[in-house]
Chains A and B, each alone.
Chain A
Amino acid sequence: MNYGALVFLGAFVAVSLSWFGMVLSPQVQLGRQTQGTNSVNTAELYPVQRPGLAREGLEVYRANGCVYCHSQQVRQSGTAVNVILTDAGTNAAAAADALMKSRAGVTDANAVGLSAGLPKAILTDVDVDRARAAVEALTSAGAKAEIEIVPVGTDIAWNWGIRRSVAHDYLYDSPVLLGSLRVGPDLANVGARLPDANWHYRHLYAPRSVVEGSAMPAYPYLFERRPIQGQPSPDAIESKDGFEIVPTSEARALVAYLLSLRADVPLFESPVSVEPPPQETADTNSAAGTNVVSPQASASAQ
Chain B
Amino acid sequence: MNAPGSTKATPLHGIASDAIDASCRMPLFVLFGVAALWLAASSVFGLIASIKFHSPTFLSEAGWLTYGRVYPAAKSMFLYGFALPAALGTTLWIFARIGKVGAAQPFFIAAGGALWNLGVLAGVIGIFAGHSTGFENMEMPRYAAVLLFFGFLLIGIWTLVTLHERRDRRLGVTQWFLLAALFWFPWIYSTAQLLLVVWPARGTAQAVIHWWFSANFTVLWCGLAGLGVVFYFIEHVAGRPLHNSPLAVFALWTSLLFVSWTGIPAGAPVPAWIPTLSTIAGVVSVVPLIALAMVLVPTLRATDVPPSAGGEITSHRSAWCRLTSTVPGRLVASGLVAFLVAWVVQLICAIPSVNGFVQFTWFTYALSQLNLYAFLALTLFGAIYLIAPRVAGMDWPWPKVVRLHFWLAVIGIALIVLPLAAGGLLQASKFASKASHPELSFVTVANGTLHFLRISSIGEVLLLLGHVLLAGNLLTLMARCARARLAAAYESAVAEVRTAEVKP
Expressed in whole angstroms, the minimum distance between the Cβ of A45 and any Cβ of chain B is 16
Task: Give the Cβ gap from A40 to chain B, nearest Cβ, in Å.
Answer: 17
**Per a CB cutoff under 8 Å, which of B68, B184, B359, B442 touches A68?**
B68
Q: Is B451 interfacial (CB-CB < 8 Å)?
A: no
Q: 1/0 per residue A52-79: CB within 8 Å of B?
A: 0000000000111111110101011100
Return the CB mask of A1-29 against B: 1 if under 8 Å, else 0.
Answer: 11110011011101101110111001101
Give bound CA distance, A33 to B356, whole Å. 26
Shortest CB distance B256–A (Å): 4
Closest CB of chain B to A217's CB: distance in Å? 5
Q: Which of A81-89, A163-171, A285-293 contacts B (4 or more CB under 8 A)?
A: A163-171
The chain A residue with its CB closest to the CB of B353 is: A77
A10 CA to B201 CA in the complex, in Å? 27
Q: How far is the CA of A62 from the CA of B68 in the complex (A)?
A: 9
Contact with A along B248-267 (1 / 0, CB 8 A): 01000100110011011001
Q: Is the CB of B442 within 8 A of A64?
A: no
Of A93-101, A139-147, A176-184, the one contacting chain B is A176-184
* Given contacts A22-B274, A31-B205, A208-B56, A2 and B171 within 8 Å (CB-CB): yes
Do A68 and B212 contact each other (CB < 8 Å), given the known contacts A178-B207, A302-B442? no
Q: Which residues of A contact B504 (CB under 8 A)?
A: none
A57 CB to closest chain B CB, in angstroms?
13
Chain A residue contacts of B67, Cβ below 8 A? 65, 68-69, 217
Complex-state Cα separation, A168 to B136, whole angstroms? 22
Residue of A nearest to B59 (CB): A217
Cβ-defined contact, B434 with A154, below 8 A: yes
- Taking CB atoms, residues of chain A closer than 8 Å to B271 are 26, 29-30, 167
Partner of B56, one of A63, A215, A222: A215
Residues in B with CB closer than 8 Å to A219 are: 60, 66
Return the chain B residue nearest A156 by Cβ.
Answer: B435
Instruction: Say yes or no: is A220 at the interface (Cβ < 8 Å to chain B).
Output: yes
Cβ-defined contact, A170 with B203, below 8 A: yes
Which one of B79-87, B147-155, B296-304, B361-369 is at the interface? B361-369
- The yes or no answer to B133 lying at the interface (CB within 8 A) is yes
Could you say which of B191, B277, B443 has the most chain A C-beta atoms within 10 Å of its C-beta?
B443
A164 touches B204 (CB 8 A): no
**B14 on the interface (CB 8 Å rule)?**
no
Q: Does A158 make an interface contact (CB < 8 A)?
A: yes
**Shortest Cβ distance from A203 into chain B, in angstroms?**
12
Closest CB-CB distance, A167 to chain B, in whole Å?
5
Which B residues between 28 and 62 are near A, CB-CB below 8 angstroms? 52-53, 56-57, 60-62
- Could you mark each residue 154-185 of chain B with 1 if its beta carbon is under 8 Å from any beta carbon of chain A, else 0? 00000010011000011100011001100110
Interface of chain A residues 168 through 223 with chain B (CB within 8 A): 168-185, 207-208, 211-222
What is the bound-complex CA distance between A224 and B57, given in angstroms? 17
Q: How far is the CA of A274 from the CA of B164 in the complex (A)?
A: 66
A67 proximity list for chain B (CB < 8 A): 68, 134, 136
The docked-state distance in angstroms from the alpha carbon of A146 to that of B260 is 47
Shortest CB-to-CB span from B157 to chain A, Å, is 13
B201 nearest CB neighbor, chain A only: A27
> Among the listed A4, A19, A185, A212, which residue makes an inter-chain contact with B179, where contact means beta carbons less than 8 Å apart?
A4
Complexed CA–CA distance, A222 and B441 (Å):
28
Is A181 in contact with B365, judged by CB distance below 8 angstroms? yes
Contact B170 A64 (CB under 8 A): no
Give the nearest-CB partner of B181 in chain A: A11
Interface residues of B in 186-223 (CB under 8 A from A): 187-188, 191, 195-196, 200-209, 212, 216
Q: Determine whether the beta carbon of A15 is less than 8 Å from that of B260.
A: yes
CB of B411 within 8 Å of the partner chain: no
Give bound CA distance, A14 to B216, whole Å.
Answer: 12
- The CA of A23 and the CA of B280, in the complex, are separated in Å by 17
Closest chain A CB from B238 CB (angstroms): 22
A26–B270 Cα distance when bound, in Å, is: 8
Q: B132 near A: Cβ within 8 Å?
A: yes
Shortest distance in angstroms between A186's beta carbon and chain B's nearest beta carbon? 8
B379 is an interface residue with CB less than 8 A from chain A: no
User: B135 within 8 Å of A by Cβ?
Assistant: yes
Q: Say whether A64 contacts B203, CB under 8 Å.
A: no
Residue of A nearest to B260 (CB): A18
Q: Please give the distance in Å from B403's CB to the nearest CB on chain A.
A: 35
Once the chains bind, are A73 and B203 in contact (CB under 8 Å)?
no
Among residues of A, the one whose C-beta sits closest to the C-beta of B256 is A14
Residue of A nearest to B216 (CB): A18
For residue A169, give the distance in angstroms from its CB to the closest CB of chain B: 7
Other-chain residue from A1, A23, A173, A221 in contact with B203 (beta carbon distance below 8 A): A173
Shortest CB distance B352–A (Å): 10
Contacts A19-B191, A73-B269, A174-B206: A14 and B443 contacting too (C-beta < 8 A)? no
Evaluate contact between B183 and A11: CB separation under 8 angstroms: yes
With beta carbons under 8 angstroms apart, the residue of A22, A64, A77, A221 that contacts B208 is A22
B360 touches A (CB below 8 Å): yes
Contacts of B5 in A (CB 8 A): none
Q: Is the CB of B208 within 8 A of A175?
A: no
Cα separation A33 to B271 with both chains bound (whole Å): 11
Please name all residues of chain B whose beta carbon is closer than 8 Å to the beta carbon of A178 when the two chains form the complex. Answer: 204, 207, 268-269
Q: Taking CB as reference atom, which chain B residue is nearest A158?
A: B434
- A68-B136, A167-B269, A180-B360 given; A11·B212 CB < 8 A: no
Complex Cα gap A208–B58 (Å): 13
- Tell me the complex Cα distance, A180–B136, Å: 9
Cα A169 to Cα B203 with chains together (Å): 8
Closest partner residue, chain A, to B441 (CB atom): A302
Decide: A15 and B206 in contact? CB cutoff 8 A: no
Q: Is the CB of A214 within 8 A of B195?
A: no
**How many whole Å from A187's CB to the nearest CB in chain B?**
12
- Restricting to B265-292, which residues have a CB under 8 Å from any CB of A? 267-271, 274, 277-278
B201 CB, nearest partner CB in chain A, Å:
5
Give Cα A14 to B188, complex, Å: 12
Smallest CB gap from B65: residue in A: A221
Query: In whole angstroms, what is the CA distance A237 to B249 when docked?
Result: 64
A64 touches B68 (CB 8 A): yes
Contact A75 B260 (CB under 8 A): no
25 inter-chain pairs at a CB distance below 8 angstroms, sorted by A residue, are: A1-B176, A4-B175, A12-B183, A14-B257, A18-B257, A18-B260, A22-B274, A26-B205, A27-B201, A27-B209, A29-B205, A30-B203, A30-B205, A30-B271, A33-B202, A63-B131, A65-B66, A71-B360, A73-B268, A158-B431, A169-B269, A176-B204, A214-B56, A216-B56, A219-B60
Binding site for B on A (CB under 8 A): 1-4, 7-8, 10-12, 14-15, 17-19, 21-23, 26-27, 29-31, 33, 62-69, 71, 73, 75-77, 152, 154, 157-158, 164-185, 207-208, 211-222, 301-302
**A213-B443, A217-B57, A217-B68 given. 12 additional CB < 8 A pairs?**
A18-B212, A22-B278, A30-B205, A31-B201, A62-B133, A65-B67, A169-B269, A181-B365, A212-B443, A215-B443, A216-B56, A221-B62
Mark B residues whose CB is within 8 Å of A: 52-53, 56-57, 60-63, 66-69, 71-72, 130-136, 160, 163-164, 169-171, 175-176, 179-180, 183-184, 187-188, 191, 195-196, 200-209, 212, 216, 249, 253, 256-257, 260-261, 263-264, 267-271, 274, 277-278, 356, 359-362, 364-365, 431-432, 434-435, 438, 441-443, 446-447, 450
- Top 6 closest pairs, chain A to chain B, by CB: A65-B68, A63-B130, A18-B260, A14-B256, A62-B134, A75-B267
